[in-house]
Every structure is written in C-alpha cells, then in structure tokens.
Structure 1
Amino acid sequence: MILQERSEQLYIKLSRELKRFSPGKRFHTIRHIERKFGVSYRVADVTLDRLEKEGLLERRDRSGLYVRSTAPCRSVAFFYIDWPGGHQRFIAEQFGRALLALGHYDFSALPYNYQSDLIPQLEACPADLLVVFWPPRPLSSQELVWLGQFSRPLVLCDLNLRDISHHCFFVNSGYVCTLALTRFRNNGHRRIGILLAEPPFGENWAIHHDFLTFAPLYDCVPVLIECHPESGNFSPELAYLAMMKHLDRFGLNFTGLFVISGYAAQGVQRALNEHGISVPDDLSAIAFGNPESTAYFTPPLTTIADDENTMATQKADAVHRYLQNPASGPIIVESRAIVYEHQSVRNLHSTITTNPNSERNMA
C-alpha cells in the first residue's frame, strides 16, 4: 500500500514534469529522479514502468528513457451555465488549470444556454470525457436512462449520484448545515431565518432540507422565508422581493439569517438596508456559496463554500486517475466546505446582561 501511494504521488509529479520536455527528448534517469523527488529506486522504477506502458515514455537500450513523440492527448470538455455572477465559469477554469498541470490534455470550457436542449450538445461533443453543470431542475427518468447509456464518461456537478454509482462532484450538504448552525448556536442565536434563493433542486435543495432537519438538534428554530425561484428566474431581485415581503408582514422575527446563494444575498442586503436593519448589529447573516462575491458586500458576509483551488485539484486528480485506469470505478468527489469568515455574525452572549429579553422578544 505504501509503495502504491508513493508511486501514485510520483506519477502525478512526473506527469507534470513531462510537459517540460519536447517530444523525442531524453527524460530523467532513475538516479536523478531518486535525488530530485526524494523517492526510493523501487518507487521510481514502478512509476516509470507505468509511464512507459501508457505510451508517455519509451525505453531505448543503453540510452535511457525518452519522451514519446506520439504521447497520447486526451480531451476533456466542461459545460457550464454562463450565469451573470460567473461562478460556474470560474469553477470550470480552475478545474481546467488543475487538469492541464497533470498531463497532456486538450481542455475546453464551454458555456451553454440552460434553456436549450443540452443532450444534443453533449452527444455532438467529441471529447473523451465531459463534465457538466446540469440545468437547475430535476433529472427526468428519461434523462437518467440516457446518462446510463451515454457512450463516454460524463461527470455531473452539484448532484449526488453516488447511490447509483454515476460520475459526480457534489457537496456534503449536512456538513454545510453543521458549519452554519454551529456558528449561530455558539453565538447565542436560536431563531434562524432561512432563505433559499436558488431553484429547489440539487445541492441547494439538499442544504435547505438538511438545515430545517438539523436546526432542532442545535436547539434552534428555523424561520422559513418564502421564496420561489425556478430555473432561470433566480436573482438578487427575487431574493430582495422575498425578504421585503417577509419583513413587511412579520418584521424581524429572527436574529440570524442563512441565505442559500451568496450571489442573490445582495438582494437580501438591500431589503435589510431599506428596513433600517444593520448587519451584524441588528441581524447576523451567513451565506452559502459565491465567496468571491460576498467578500465585497457592505459589510462582507461570512460565507460557507468550497475552497475552489483545493477542490479543483481533487476533481482533476480523480478525472486523471479514471482516464488512466477506467476500471478504478466511478469518478465521485465529495467536497467538504470551509468558512470564509467576515465577522457578519454577532455574539449575543455579550449583550444578554444588558438586554435579557432580546431573544425572548423574538418568540
């Protein structure tokens, strides 16, 4: 197992190293690899043998290893919806950079219109492997059958298809809720507003569902803010209207707010401003997703999201391993989000002595 792990690590490093050599050039000797990468002779020999079998290197008698002039180049296409916030495009580009660092790949990041029929576009794409942000709606039974019959590997983003052993990248929704609820609970918040400003499908719906389920376990009461986004109509404006309607009808009947969509949270922030509600003085807020946007809000919002650099590397590594050895099983990458802290959550414990009824008045 140790030999396999070290050989895999060296394989990734040497795959990158190959890109520094022109086809036909002599590659490093085993002795040089031992010194340069700090590995044993056995690890270096096993790894070089693998690269030779994959056609990336050729061994010439009494001369050494040479970079193959016919080194295979695999093609990977990443289909994303070009939403105004640009978050999916950012993820696709990050993934592409990580993949290209691993070896010889022809990578394309391809925007598409979510209102058009995606399947013909996927079928017409000649890439060896496809990664897709599926349109924000449920998969139909016909589409599931099509996925199972598609002739090439197809990885779906933001959909947990692990139970049917289909290639997928998805977020651990329960862990996202744990991060949010822990921060609210530790800072004295018990009534937490929740606003789903994304279409109720995929990972966003899973997070919304898990938050409502987990909240009582943290001694918190979720306050549902009605918002009904559908595929294509979610935006800061819709979140703004939902927040305005709730505040006009019920007032501020929670002390913490969890917004599922950092992009749409700017609409929530405008509604709060128009009602004279300050973050974090009057209301603590946490957003999910789009940390590149929420960092520039006024004030910036604490945000739970993937570390996209780390996840791009993990996703690219999984795709790379699969293309080298399809028998390794489905490509499944589960991400565990991190917290981008921006001090938008107020600690109520420090104010209980001066206003002991503040939390009770929310009931």
Structure 2
Amino acid sequence: MTEGRVTARDVAKAAGVSPATVSLVFRNKPGVGHKTREHVVAVAHELGFEYDAPAAPRKTSTLLLVIYKQHGRVVSDTPFFESLIKGVSDATYQLGYHRLSVTYFYAQQDKAEQIQALRSIKCAGIVLLATEMLAGDVSQFERLGVPIVLLDNWFPTKSLDSVVIDNTWGAWSAVRYLTGIGHRDIGYLHSTTEIRNFLERQEGYLSAMRSAGTMDIDPMHAVVSVGSTVESAYEDMMNYLDEDPYLPTAYFADNDIIASSCVRALEDHGYRVPEDISVVGFDDVSTSALINPPLTTMAVPKTNMGALAVRRLVSLIQGEAGGEVVRISVQPEIVQRKSVAPPAE
C-alpha cells in the first residue's frame, strides 16, 4: 500500500471487493449484501480509512405507483384493483412518504413519451402494478434508475422483488373444498385472457383434479373458455349453454367477475345455483357478497398486498433489504357463502 492517506481503492484491494462496492457501502446504497457490507466496514476501520461524504442531495418523499395496461381486459376500475391501490396509498403515508403519484402506462400508446413523463416525476421508488405485463415490458422501467417492486406479477428472468398471490395453491384449495363436500365432476370457467394469474390458477385446478381420485375423469372436458369482462363472460357462457352443453355439478372460476357473470347466464337458462350447479370464484371483491346467491370465493388480502409492496420498496430505498431478491406470495382463503352446496343425489 502506498504511504499517505488511505483511499477507497486501498480498502477495496484489502477487502477483496471492487471500488464500486466500497463506494456503495459508504454512501449507504443498496446492492451490497449484509455480510459484505460488514466486512468492508471492518477492513476500512482497520486501515484507518476516512470517508468524506458529499453533501447529501435533498431526498424526495414521493413514491410512484405505475398501473400498467396492456389491454385493460383485466386491469380496470374494479373493487380488486381499488383495494390494491388503497393498500399502496395507506402504507405510503404510514411509512413517512408525503406523496404517492399514481399514473397509468398504456402499452398501446407512445412508450418513449410515457417513460419521459415518468422521468420528470422525481420519485424515490416505483411500485409497478404488473398484472398485464410481460417480461419484455419491464426493461424500460428498470432504466429509470430507481428501486422497483412488482405487484401482482413476477418474472423469472428479472431480478426484481415482487408481491404476488399464491394462485396455484388458491385454485387447488378451491377445488379441494368442492371435492371435500362431495363434488367429483368439477368444471372450470377459464379466462381467454392470458395473464400469469390465470395460468397459475389453471395449474392449481388441474393439479387438484388429478390428485383427488378423479383420474378417470378428464378435467379438460368441462373447461369453458370465457372472456374476462362482465359482458364477455356472460355472452360466452350464454353461447356455451345454447349448444346442448355438458354440465358438471360444480364450477371453479378464474375470478369473481367471471363467476358472477356465469352464474347469471346459468340462471337465465333455468339452472339453479347452488341446487343444480355450485360455483366458486376467486378474489373476494366487495360485490361478491351482494349478488344472488352470495358468491363463495377465495379471498385475497388485496389491501395487505399493496402495503407489503410499499414496505419492501421502502426497505430497498433505505438500503435495508439485504441484497436478496424476494418474491412475497400471499395465500388466499376460502370464504363460504351461498353459491355452493353438496351435489344432488
């Protein structure tokens, strides 16, 4: 080591890390593991390294919630997303951030222009509502240079923290609830909109059917493909019922919108729910308890999901996340109402 003042480069060489890592440690920035951080600090102390911190820039107290719309067939002004946004908003202020800026990002509009508008918002970090996103859509947000937490989606090719629903387990649990009260022939009201949530729920449905002693029944024989909006799900189910359909004793639906729309179609064709056919939804939106019959569904802790995303984001902003990439998966739970009954004799 050269004589004179100890430099960050000297510390990096002695600690076996890069000068950039030393810089991150002493500027208290994220991206360095806890053990590495402690090691660098110990080596610096031993060498007598003195760090002259630059004048700290004024920290922004704004968080940004970006609501990404690929097509809007799933992400819309429904009670589900209202609850998610409320959770994000409440946690933002509880954790000492004075402003939450909420903006929509439309995949079908000029992306460069929208990204430039986001750059003009001086935010500390972003919660990205990624329900309708694909992995390739994420890079443009990563280039904004602030911490990001994904909400309601995750991507195996991206090293980003996320808060998601345990969709596979939730669908599996819904089907096992139906088999537990005697249903054997269980159909599936599956959305034609391909998002990860619905694909994972399909996996859970198929897994539960195959493990419930129904191997002699092909679970795909009673899958009805329907749209994901109130109107399209109702219309598609009506068309299916017009064609002398095969009907199981119960249906599991991808979400409550689909479930309630298909219940209406069934009743308009003279079928009684749950006396003739039981129906289970997913999400437990506020309107599910108000329809007739009130909908049995898998309840998702929507407000808590939004709050969890903000808590993780604040940990990243403050350099307290530990360096690991985490996926926080919340489990739904069954809410029993009046749309399910044991199968008729």
Q: Distance in 2 between matches of 1:202 and 1:117?
A: 25
Any residues of structure 2 matched to 1:112-127 within 5 Å, and which? 112-113=105-106, 115-117=108-110, 120-125=113-118, 126=121, 127=123
Kindly indicate whether residue 104 of structure 2 is the aligned counterpart of residue 106 of structure 1.
Answer: no
Kindly indicate whether residue 125 of structure 2 is the aligned counterpart of residue 132 of structure 1.
Answer: no
Equivalent residue for 1:255, pick from 239, 242, 249: 249
Shift of 1:118: 5.1
Shift of 1:308: 2.3
Q: Which has the higher contact order (CA 8 A, sep 6+)?
A: 2
Q: Distance in 1 between matches of 2:307 and 2:144?
A: 26
% identity of equivalent residues: 20
Shift of 1:224: 4.0
Q: Aligned AA for 1:336?
A: Q
Instruction: Specify whether residues 130 and 137 from structure 1 end up closer, same or farther in structure 2 by C-alpha distance, changes over 3 A only.
Output: closer
Q: Distance in 2 between matches of 1:105 and 1:158?
A: 24
Partner of 2:258: 264
User: SS at 1:131's partner residue?
Assistant: strand
Q: Distance in 1 between matches of 2:111 and 2:204?
A: 30
Kindly indicate whether residue 150 of structure 2 is the aligned counterpart of residue 156 of structure 1.
Answer: yes
Partner of 2:162: 168
Partner of 2:176: 182
Instruction: Using structure 2 for the length normalisation, give the TM-score.
Output: 0.70
Equivalent residue for 1:313, pick from 291, 307, 314: 307
Residues 20-48 of structure 1: CA deviation (Å, up to 9, x unaligned): xxxxxxxxxxxxxxxxxxxxxxxxxxxxx
Residues 328-347 of structure 1: CA deviation (Å, up to 9, x unaligned): 23353211112222132212
The answer to whether the 8 Å contact 1:94/1:308 transfers is: yes
User: SS at 1:328's partner residue?
Assistant: coil
Instruction: Specify whether residues 339 and 291 from structure 1 end up closer, same or farther in structure 2 by C-alpha distance, changes over 3 A only.
Output: farther
Q: Distance in 1 between matches of 2:155 and 2:194?
A: 17
Q: Distance in 2 between matches of 1:254 and 1:148?
A: 46
Partner of 2:66: 79
Residues 227-286 of structure 1: CA deviation (Å, up to 9, x unaligned): 264xxxx31121112222332334352011111121233321221111111111111110
CA RMSD of aligned residues (A): 2.8
Kindly indicate whether residue 337 of structure 2 is the aligned counterpart of residue 342 of structure 1.
Answer: yes
Equivalent residue for 1:227, pick from 187, 210, 225: 225
Q: Distance in 1 between matches of 2:260 and 2:278?
A: 15
User: Which sections of structure 1, spanning at least 5 residues, go unmatched?
Assistant: 1-69, 356-363
Shift of 1:156: 2.4
Instruction: Specify whether residues 277 and 308 from structure 1 end up closer, same or farther in structure 2 by C-alpha distance, changes over 3 A only.
Output: same
Instruction: Specify whether residues 316 and 133 from structure 1 end up closer, same or farther in structure 2 by C-alpha distance, changes over 3 A only.
Output: closer
Partner of 1:96: 89
Shift of 1:101: 1.0
Any residues of structure 2 matched to 1:255-334 within 5 Å, and which? 255-325=249-319, 328-329=322-323, 330=325, 332-334=327-329
Which of 262-271 and 280-289 deviates more? 262-271
Instruction: Specify whether residues 299 and 252 from structure 1 end up closer, same or farther in structure 2 by C-alpha distance, changes over 3 A only.
Output: farther
The answer to whether the 8 Å contact 2:148/2:313 transfers is: no
Q: Distance in 2 between matches of 1:211 and 1:283?
A: 17
User: SS at 1:100's partner residue?
Assistant: helix
Q: Aligned AA for 2:66?
A: F
